[in-house]
Structure 1
Amino acid sequence: MSSFDDLAQRYIDAWNESDPTVRRAAVDALFSADASYVDPLAVAQSPEAIAATIAAVQGQFPGFVFRLLGPVDAHHDQARFRWELGPANEEAPIVGFDVVVTDGAGRIQKVMGFLDKVPAAA
């Protein structure tokens, strides 16, 4: 497994961590102190804000889990990977991909998230 494969899996694991203390420790280990996260629905400008964003997503989609889809594509200090979010062992209603830029020391400095598939509004 490459370092970017490991990084992507640790990232997904952080999004799935339900214990706030463990999640915050995972985010702090994974992200640089000046990290930022942006997707069509959220902007977070620090590890603390990223951990809060993860908690908010978990609150919005209780019982859903993130899963990596396909290989991680990486070069230099950046990577992109697809993921899905849905109930365990069921088709995921949400699919997207993230582009991460690392700080050169293996920690995530920036995440740019994109949504490819989202449920229709009721």
Structure 2
Amino acid sequence: MMALDDVVDTYCATWNTTDAGECARLLRVACTADCRYSDPLVHDLDRAALVAHIGMLLEKFPGSAIRRTSVIDSHPAGLRFGFVRLAADGGVMREGTDFCSLGEGGRLQRITGFFGPLVAL
């Protein structure tokens, strides 16, 4: 079983990966087969749909990157962590928090993201 920091950091790395095959591989490492993702813009995406969603965002915001900005707060029912999307020039585009439940092997099973409005383009 991976350490919790490694699971979350691998998941965050998927949001920075422009190659769909590599993105899918990273999601298989960090997330369960039945993982679901939701945020204010999309609802109940499976892993394949999440790969497409990430690809669309990276096309829309080339050079942008997600960075974890907090420790991982966890307890038996789940975890949360803060993140930021940085523009290609390093400016903060958006801040947010993900809440997750864990499944098989300590991997992410349910991811619910919350974020504020875009602050830079």
Q: For the structure 1 residues 76 and 102, does the alpha-carbon distance in structure 2 shift closer, same or farther, using more than 3 Å as the test?
A: same
- Given the superposition, is the C-alpha separation of residues 105 and 77 from structure 1 closer, same or farther in structure 2, using an over 3 Å criterion? farther
Deviation of 1:19 after TM superposition, in Å, equals: 1.2
TM-score by length of 1: 0.86
Residue 26 and residue 74 in structure 1: after superposition, are their counterparts in 2 closer, same or farther (change >3 A)?
Answer: same
* C-alpha distance after superposition, 1:5-62 (max 9, x if no partner): 2211111111111111111111122221211100001124311111111111112211
RMSD of Structure 2 on Structure 1 (CA): 2.1
**Matched residue, 2:63:** 63
Matched residue count? 120
Aligned residues of 2:68 and 2:81 also touching (Cα < 8 A): yes
Q: Which runs of 5+ in 1 are unaligned?
A: none
Structure-2-length-normalised TM-score: 0.87
Give the drift of 1:88.
4.8
Q: What SS is found at the alignment partner of 1:70?
A: coil
Q: Which has the higher strand share?
A: 1
Moved over 2 A (4+): 87-91, 116-120
Q: CA deviation at 1:87?
A: 2.4
2:72 match: 72
Instruction: Tell me the equivalent position of 1:26.
Output: 26
Q: Return the alpha-carbon distance in structure 2 between the equivalents of residues 35 and 61 of structure 1.
A: 25
Task: Say whether the 8 Å CA contact 1:65–1:86 is kept in structure 2.
Answer: yes
- The alignment partner of 1:57 has SS state of helix
Instruction: Note the C-alpha offset of 1:119.
Output: 2.9
Q: SS of the residue aligned with 2:21?
A: helix
